[in-house]
Structure 1
Amino acid sequence: MKKFISVLFMALILNVPIMAQKTVKLRIIETSDVHGSFFPYDFINRTDKPGSLARVNSYVKSLRKKYGRNLILLDNGDILQGQPTCYYYNYVDTTSTNIAADIINYMKYDAETMGNHDVETGHAVYDKWIKEVKCPMLGANIIDNKTNKPYLPPYKIIERNGVKVAILGMITPAIPNWLQENIWKGLRFQDMVSCAKYWIDYLRKNEKPNVIIGLFHSGEKGGIETPDYVEDASIKVAKEVPGFNLILFGHDHTRHCETITNNAGQKVVCLDPANNAISVADAEITIKDGNVDVNGKLVDITSQPIDQKFMDYFKPQIKKVNDFVNKKIGSFETPIYTRESFFGNCAFTDFILNLQLQITGADISFNAPLNFDSKIDAGDVRVSDMFNLYKFENQLYVMKLTGEEIRKHLEMSYDLWVNTMKSPEDHLLLLDLNKGDNQHTGFKNFTFNFDSAAGIDYVVDVTKPNGEKVKILRMSNGKPFDEKAWYKVAINSYRGNGGGELLTRGAGIPRDSLESRIIWRSERDQRYYLMMEIEKMGTVNPQPNHNWKFIPEAWTKPAAERDYKILFPKAK
């Protein structure tokens, strides 16, 4: 009797339904940042993939034999970009059901959130995809400006064996820092902490769930921070918003498994399986006498068998994509590598920089290595190679910048990239080998923010302090470079919208002025235009521009050789 009164008292305090004194076990599986890794084959590099939803499905099927309907399968977004499979169904075959929807439906996911790379596909793609997905697409903090209500369902209620589970979905609110407004027109993105507080209170009062799960496309902590929001706020929500039993998150491509104690003294299990379907977040929730106990872990999927029924079901789609990616578009006379871009002029990066100038007629071009270690071999170049050449579906912009803003943009880029050398024995590069995640790859900062330039000749003096390393000597056509003059700059849409903060924090341009600086924007994604240019040229011999270098070379050349061996120990 005392135990029943205690359970009754706790139920009244926490405002949750009273359950019969029985034990219910739920198993929760989350995938995140799948990025088109549906099949155990990389359509870009034409190699086997270690992670795939074909393997995840085998794992899920084995658990369903034990848990039945008590297994809840969730996806956390960023599924619509990353492989040619996605590109083909996003932009080439736009009448068939999007393959990402087909797979979500086939695997019987129970709920999903949107990620920033899903939003990046544009309204036409993601609105169609949302309608095709049979499970609810959640987004409590994606607000429709017309109604001032969530554009998507904020949460999903799932009932299993008398247990009521609420799943609250949110996305990182930093979308406007990366994507132009027409992609998310009519929407705004609310701060995650304030949004979570509102909906936790709403759920307790109106739904009275026994278990609350957060499904957040937002990383552990940090990222872009403004007075209004934090990009990676999942742990912040876990600590500051009491009520969650389990928080499943992603976006930062970093494995994470911990149990934290929130501000109310409650335990919250927090899991992030990283990216590309290599791992899943796996939690078992036990509900006994009204008490909720959560145990979580990350499970490596790469040793799971490939689900052959899954593969057979999607044979027609696989054939369509294979036919698309195997189309020849040109030939390269020499191989090109992104790895060379970290140490100086690089044929890979300069080829893109030069094509940007060729396509737009701009004076100067900015670009960063979007892959840490990609290669395009000499010989036939196919559509699949274009995804190595240019990883993301960014658009191409031309912006007007002053000479001073161009230099400051580069100053911040190189400060993110290179060390300030005090002696010849120092590192050339700004490394952090302890990061150990898929995003940093040995660097302290993200390599996709390491912009170099074409159209100008310059040196980078690594003995100078931050903000004083870059000296622009002249325009590459021999004309003087003037810090007070205006120039047309070719730049991708991620950077032009403020991504990486090189234009805002670096060049000093107010964020609300970026739009007014754009004087041209491409209609389609940048990869499409690069592909068209290669088709026109036919046979190409990419070479480095040799328009910039690190100095003093007596220090930087030996340091580059040492750092190269650290980052690429297996390279010949």
Structure 2
Amino acid sequence: MKITFLETSDMHGYVAPTNFSDDQEQGFGTAKVAAKMKQLKAEANGPVITIENGDFIQGSPLSYYIAKSQHPVAALTAPVNQLGVDAHVLGNHEFNYGLDYLKEAISSYQSPVLAANIVNDTGEPFFGQAYTIIEKEGVKIAVLGLVTQYIPHWEQPATIKGMTFQSIVDTAKVYVPKLRELADIVVISYHGGFEKDLTTGEPTELLTGENEGYQLLHEVSGIDALFTGHQHREIAGVVNGVPVVQPGFRGSFIGKIELTVNTDEGHVRVVEREAALVPVADAAPDEATLALLAPINEELNTWLDQPLGQVQGDMRITDPMGARIKEHPYIEFINQVQMAASGAKISGTALFNNEGKGFGSTITMRDVITNYIYPNTLAVVQVTGAELKAALEQTANYLVSEGGQIIFNPAFIDPKPQYYNYDMYEGIEYTIDLRQPTGHRITSLAFEGAAIGMEQPLDIVINQYRAVGGGNYDMFSADKIIREIQVDMTELIADYLKAHPMIEAATNQNFTVIA
């Protein structure tokens, strides 16, 4: 018998095949996933199990609008329920809108939501269920759900109060032997990825525990299949005898694993394993899925197209890399918004990806939300001059010089682009000299016209993700936060534009990068 597993992960609230910035149909989205999944189920030669691996309720203008409007989150999760999913796993971005919203989302799903390694003070799963067992044609299949343990480094303490996030390796070592007693097949759905090259075993990132997939595959026996996500990578293969998939993001692929099993006198044995990624681009969007959100999409588009302000000059981004090495008016603007909202005299922000187009002559909410893509709030941290310099030295590592040309460090593009971890600051003057050795590239650093002392206290406004150390910025932490601005950045941008309906596309060129 052949058992087919179909996985989605990191769809991030993209239902219709749109990126919300134009009318061109894109090759992703839950509606295309739904159509392709119907096809795959019809073609399957045996039972099918579907798994949704997390990060669905945050990430698109649609998911943002639903979270901030009067619509229930059930309106957003309805398309996933229509997929007929057998099990859900929590992702890290499920926490972004707070615990109450997350609980509302969990209650809206029509199948089990799993998170074995998030436990309460008694050691039990905080969200109630660690695994589910599904029986298909007499074969029992256990699905164990695991989540990246690194969530406390990104979320506000109040959101995760009472939760302990355990290593997925330690958790699997407890659960997999138990599940082998209870089921014939044991698979893991992990909202996390791989910390090492799957072929060579060489680390591909700092070994912080954010991603533990490689260690899991090499230290825990008894796993029949592993479904992953979080890193937005496109992976399909067999690693250490275990079939593995990771299906990109926004619903661009469905991860597919087929296990052929033999049953001999009641004993089930896996005899063949196959892993593949199935693109959905060629599928026509499922009309029933689109219909679920049609009324909200009309509201959404009206909201997205409302004008907020005007630009004098040019604030468009045509060269994302250029905007990182020479201050761009858009970056200057975001830092000015952060400083105005917080009262801090120093601000840091990033150009999150290479898709943002900046602002044209008229700024709409669509422009704001497709450029500033995360539901960040702000925090003011008080640090020393030495800690600020350490942060700048770390951000300098995201740039390298090749033949005199400055490029983004390839080490932070593959396997996952980390453009969001390269920060640019306002309120200080600094120089990054890439000719100098690592750790000594900040060759000048001044505040209000004077060199910054290493013991000098400084108040800096950054997004909450960075303020608690996100991106492995260990010089920042929750205990250094002195105040928070509990308003989403997109709202702060809109409010700033209401107060300043005409903004000037200008920069003060307060930082210099030398190759």
TM-score scaled by structure 1?
A: 0.83
| Equivalent residue for 2:374, pick from 392, 402, 405 | 392
- Contact 2:237–2:274 (CA under 8 A) maintained in structure 1: no
Letter in 1 for 2:149: P
Deviant stretches of 4+, over 6 Å = none
Q: Is the Cα–Cα contact under 8 Å of residues 63 and 71 in structure 1 kept in the other structure?
A: no
| In 1: Cα distance, 2:125 partner to 2:280 partner | 38
Match of 1:65 in 2: 42
Give the secondary-structure state (helix, strand or coil) at the position aligned to 2:459.
strand
Alignment partner for residue 188 of structure 1, among 157, 164, 176?
164
SS at match of 2:340: helix
RMSD value over aligned CA atoms? 2.1
Counterpart residue identity of residue 191, structure 1: S
* Partner residue of 2:443 out of 471, 476, 491: 471
Find the counterpart in structure 2 of residue 565 from structure 1.
Answer: none
**How many angstroms apart in 1 are the aligned matches of 2:344 and 2:444?**
18
Q: How does 1:172-187 map to 2 (within 5 A)?
A: 172-187=148-163
**3-state secondary structure, aligned to 1:499:** coil
Q: 1:134 aligns with which of 110, 114, 128?
A: 110
Higher helix share: 1
Given that 2:434 and 2:441 are in contact with CA atoms closer than 8 Å, whether structure 1 keeps it comes out as yes
Corresponding residue number in structure 2 for 1:82:
59
**Within 5 A, what are the aligned runs for 1:249-264?**
249-261=228-240
Q: Distance in 2 between matches of 1:186 and 1:473?
A: 41
| Greater shift in the superposed pair: 140-149 or 391-400 | 140-149
1:312 pairs with one of 286, 291, 297: 291
Deviations 1:435-486 (A, max 9, x none): 665x32xxxxx221111211111222222111111133532x4355333221
Q: Secondary structure at the match of 2:322?
A: helix
Shift of 1:340: 2.8
* 1:335 aligned onto 2:315: yes
Counterpart CA distance in 2 for 1:119 and 1:360 is 24
Q: Which moved more, 1:427-436 or 1:136-145?
A: 427-436
Q: Take 1:40 and 1:373, find their aligned partners in 2: how far apart are those partners?
A: 16
Find 2:479's aligned residue among 516, 521, 533.
516
1:527 aligns to 2:477 (yes or no): no
Written as runs of structure 1 = structure 2, the 5 A alignment for 1:147-546 is 148-205=124-181, 207=182, 209-221=183-195, 223-226=205-208, 230-261=209-240, 267-289=241-263, 290-292=268-270, 293-333=272-312, 334-337=314-317, 338-419=320-401, 425-432=403-410, 439-440=416-417, 446-475=418-447, 477-479=448-450, 481-502=452-473, 504=474, 507=475, 514-546=477-509
User: Given the alignment of the two structures, is residue 550 of structure 1 paired with residue 513 of structure 2, yes or no?
Assistant: yes
Secondary structure of the structure 1 residue equivalent to 2:295: helix
Cα deviation per residue 1:279-306 (whole Å; 9 max; x = unaligned)? 1111222222322132111111111222
Q: Is the 8 A contact 2:379 2:483 kept in 1?
A: yes
C-alpha change, 1:433 and 1:301, in structure 2 (3 Å) is farther
Contact 1:69 1:160 in 2 (8 A): no
Residue 317 of structure 1: how far off its partner (Å) = 2.5
Letter in 2 for 1:541: E
User: 1 CA distance for matches of 2:513 and 2:242?
Assistant: 48
Q: Deviations over 1:239-274 (max 9, x none)?
A: 21111111010111111112122xxxxx21011111
Identity, in percent, stands at: 25
**Alignment partner of 1:26 is 2:3:** yes
Aligned length: 499
Contact 2:153 2:469 in 1 (8 A): yes
**How big is the shift at 1:374?**
1.3
SS of 1:316's equivalent? helix
Cα pair 2:398 2:412 within 8 Å, conserved:
no
Measure, in 2, the Cα distance between the counterparts of 1:247 and 1:314. Answer: 32
Question: Would you say the 8 A contact 2:154–2:470 is kept in 1?
Answer: yes
Structure 2 residue identity aligned to 1:134: Q
How far did residue 97 of structure 1 move? 4.1
- Equivalent pair of 1:339/1:374 in contact (CA under 8 Å): no
TM superposition shift of 1:346: 1.4
Deviation at 1:46, TM superposition (A): 4.9
Partners of 1:46 and 1:549 in 2: CA distance: 38
CA–CA distance in structure 2, aligned partners of residues 91 and 377 of structure 1: 23
CA-CA distance at 1:69 after TM superposition? 8.3
Q: How far 1:409 sits from its partner (Å)? A: 1.0
**1:352 aligns to what SS in structure 2?**
helix
Q: CA deviation at 1:66?
A: 4.1
- For the residue of structure 2 that corresponds to 1:501, the secondary structure is coil
Letter in 2 for 1:463: R
Q: 8 Å contact 1:224–1:232 — kept in the other structure?
A: no
Could you tell me which amino acid in structure 1 is paired with residue 301 of structure 2?
N
1:379 CA drift (Å): 2.5
Tell me the distance in 2 between the aligned counterparts of 1:285 and 1:528: 48
**One-letter identity of the residue aligned with 1:484:** E
Q: 1:173 to 1:45 in 2, by over 3 A?
A: farther
Deviations 1:495-553 (A, max 9, x none): 10111122x1xx4x6xxxx22311110122222212211122112222222111123xx
Task: Please report how far the alpha carbon of residue 430 of structure 1 lies from its aligned counterpart in structure 2 after TM superposition.
Answer: 4.7
1:53 aligns with 2:30: yes
Closer/same/farther in 2, CA of residues 402 and 523 from structure 1, 3 Å limit = same
The structural deviation recorded for 1:369 is 1.2
Note the C-alpha offset of 1:275. 0.9
Q: Unaligned regions of 5+ residues in structure 2, if any?
A: 197-204
Corresponding residue for 1:17? none
Is contact 1:32-1:250 (8 Å) kept? yes
* Maintained 8 Å contact 1:52/1:277: yes
Q: TM-score, normalised by structure 2?
A: 0.92
1:391 counterpart SS class: coil
Please say if residues 339 and 373 of structure 1, whose CA atoms lie closer than 8 Å, have aligned partners that are also in contact.
no
- Which residue in 2 is equivalent to 1:4? none
CA distance in 2, matches of 1:432, 1:401: 30
Higher Cα Rg, which structure? 1
Separation in structure 1 between the aligned mates of residue 326 and residue 83 of structure 2, nearest angstrom: 46
One-letter amino acid of the structure 2 residue matched with residue 531 of structure 1: A
Q: Distance in 1 between matches of 2:210 and 2:445?
A: 37
